[in-house]
Structure 1
């Protein structure tokens, strides 16, 4: 003898429907959450240039009171620029970057944490990471540095 279940109710329960709804809400949140946007292309500089390494929070949010870190993982100490509680922490910085880095303070309220690097040196070449620890967001940008070579053309005159 064979028994066949003929219940006409849907096989989904209210708990399953709630689980699907929670999953969809989390997926939407993850897809529309904030991210740090840097540069998809490397930044190219010449020795002596002042350059900007781009990094911004999208969608924009005031980061004035948040901790912002710029690092270069291949250095020890790795910090290029650190800002906490509205102050730059100069003592945390790698000595190579002393008095050569700054943030655009008036732009922090718009989520812009781009780093200005002054008087670029050949040793500045590398991968830089901007990071907001309180939001667990990071982005990286590559910097290439070249020497500026003057092209000098000599002409001779024949008598």
Structure 2
């Protein structure tokens, strides 16, 4: 059984700067075929270690809110939420 893990507390971001939205799979497994949208970026080397954290570039006040990280395979699905607060 695998679990998708995110932060226990909200992630605070500063407008105009980049922020990392933590998301990972425990125990670590290699993740492939990931899709993201917008001003976001994944570190593909980290994906091989089960780290699906997302980098959001040039944060704007409108980016504040809840983000969902979900990972699925043929046999299981799990997700977690990441709340972002822009200061």
- Is the structural similarity TM-score above 0.5? yes
The residue number in structure 2 matching 1:59 is 27
Give, in whole Å, the separation in 2 of the partners of 1:39 and 1:60.
16
Alignment of structure 1 residues 38-57 onto 2, 5 Å: 38-57=6-25
Higher strand share: 2
Offset at residue 35 of structure 1 (A): 0.2
**Alignment partner of 1:144 is 2:85:** yes
TM-score (norm 1): 0.51
Higher Rg of the two aligned structures: 1
TM-score, normalised to structure 2, is 0.90
CA RMSD of aligned residues (A): 1.3
Q: How many residues align?
A: 85
- Aligned with 2:28: secondary structure? coil
Asked which structure has the greater RCO (Cα within 8 Å, sep 6+), the reply is 2
1:3-54 CA-to-partner distances (Å, cap 9, x unmatched) read: xxxxxxxxxxxxxxxxxxxxxxxxxxxxxx2101100010001100101000
Q: By how many angstroms is 1:58 displaced?
A: 0.2
Following TM superposition, the consecutive aligned residue runs of length 4 or more in structure 1 with deviations greater than 2 angstroms are none
C-alpha separation in 1, matches of 2:70 and 2:5: 11
Segments of 5+ residues of structure 2 without an aligned counterpart are none
Matches of 1:36 and 1:131 in 2, distance apart? 7
